[in-house]
Copies of this chain bind each other. A is one copy, B any other.
Amino acid sequence: MEQVRQKGETRASDVLQRLRDDILSCELEPGSKLKFEALRERYEVSFSTLREALARLAAESLVTSEGQRGFVVAPVSIEDLQDLTNARVLLERENLRLSMEKGDDAWEAHILATYHRMDRLQNRLGDHYYFDPEWAQLHSGFHHSLVCASGSPVLLEMREKLFERAHRYRRMSSQFRTQWRPKEIEHKAIMDAVLDREPVALDLIEQHIRETTDNVITFAGHLFRGPQGEAV
């Protein structure tokens, strides 16, 4: 009747995306219980449709499902953050290495294009660009463009999933960050090194990833409570 859904897009996949967004933006608190009745009302879908979306998110490790006790938003913890970071470094380096080896002119052009768009929006938004959802999209796109020529669908998909999983921690980092300048310079430096096929690019991207993690642990580490701890 009032369906404004893309063709070939199912209602379940729509709810899946909305749920994902709400979890990543922490609108649904980490560690909190996901009750069907409440979600059903929130997203205006039936039990089964919700169930499918939650099952998918469970396979993505964004929610956990234990037996017959329903679903829970995946908790955040220092252990998880550190583990995630190490895994991301491994996959980011490998994808970038392959990408720099195989990337062609079109790939280079794509990087320049995505950087430009991110940079422009950054300037327009001023100091608090980090909280803008559209910027987050462009930022994600820029990092993707760097590695997308690796030619390995499997490695790229894993990288993408980990990048998403890290979003909640990036979000926390930005809340505790005091100096904003470095990130902007870093992106430019990384891009230049990548386009010049300089091996140091691998170390720069690793540093780029680890910096956010260190920032969270330094400023927000004490807020976590144990391995199964929840965010405040």
Contact = CB atoms under 8 A, between A and B. Distances in A.
Interface of A: 7-10, 12, 48, 51-53, 55-56, 58-61, 66-69, 80, 83-84, 86-87, 90-91, 94, 152-155, 157-158, 162
Contacts of A9: 67
B8 A67 contact: yes
B52 A8 contact: no
A66 B9 CA distance: 9
Contact of A153 (B55, B60, B67, B83): B83
7 contacts: A8-B68, A8-B69, A48-B48, A59-B59, A84-B154, A87-B158, A90-B90
A152 B88 CA distance: 12
Interface centre among A55, A87, A157, A162 (most CB of B within 10 A): A55
Given A55-B55, A56-B58, A155 B67 contact: no
Contacts of A162: 154
A154 B55 contact: no
Contact of A87 (B68, B69, B87, B152): B152
B154 A83 contact: yes
Given A80-B154, A84-B154, 18 more contacts: A8-B66, A8-B67, A12-B55, A48-B48, A48-B51, A48-B52, A52-B52, A55-B59, A56-B56, A56-B58, A61-B157, A83-B153, A83-B155, A86-B154, A87-B152, A90-B90, A90-B94, A158-B158
A95 to B, nearest CB: 10
Tell which of A56, A59, A154 has the most Cβ of chain B within 10 Å. A154
